[in-house]
Structure 1
Amino acid sequence: MKKITLFVFCMLSLVACDKDDANQSELREVKVAVPETMPLAEFRALVNVEEPAAIEESGKIYTYQNLIFINDNLKGVHVIDNSNPENPVKKAFIRIPQNTDVAVKDDLLYANSGIDLVVFDISDINNIQLQNTIENPLCIMI
């Protein structure tokens, strides 16, 4: 049994070696990940209610009353009025950098923004307002 295992290992080793590869000695620089940095105050200032936009990479979908909230992965939340399901209307895009999750309670939309929690008043869907930013809530809890 040991001879068979050794034979198979040797054969696989020979197959894995490709001596004809002319690019073996060529080294190339490849960017794998490039960190993006900015001051925290500048990052927090990016949170904003904007005109409706196209969904690029949808994430979590949340419904509340006649509204649909669609997370656009790491970018923000699309707000859609679904009062008439046959004709849903895009109402706004809430830019929330590093956003991955939303929840709604009592006309308040809660969303993560990196290390922060942002709270929006959605009682008037035509006039969504940032109500509060809870900075680094995990530090508050500890």
Structure 2
Amino acid sequence: MKKSVIIRKISLNDAGAIQKISNAISKNSSEINFEKLIQYKIANNEHETSLVAEIDNKVAGYMISNLLYAGFGLKKSAWIVTMGVKPDFMGQGLGVKLAKEIFQIYKKKNIEHIYSSVMWDSIDLLSFFKKLGFERSNFINLCKKL
């Protein structure tokens, strides 16, 4: 029997569950303080652009995004900052459902482009974004170690 999925706005109560998912799927997840990130988004009334997927009243996936008002040659656009799905639920369309809902939110805001950044060796994540219609952009991510 297929379980019902509820997509809703992120809340501060989700921070622990999101951290657990992130820990399960990423080796660098401990560097992200999801509680502070969610607090910031709520304080700045930006939490509508970050969502969780619930199954049986438990967070099974999340997608956190931001609205970008300006950048080096960028028009007003959006950015998917991070996302994750519990390993038990991967491959069942949760990430796609979250992304499609995020896309609808930004379409209503008249945003034409949404970006994300993926490590070159993250084949699964690259494949996921490609499936959603993402293509390589004209921007190059730059980094300087301090």
TM-score higher than 0.5 here? no
Range into which the TM-score falls when normalised by the shorter chain: under 0.3
Q: Which structure dedicates a bigger proportion of its chain to strand?
A: 1
Q: Which has the higher helix share?
A: 2
TM-score, normalization by structure 2: 0.27
TM-score normalised per structure 1: 0.27
Larger Rg: 1
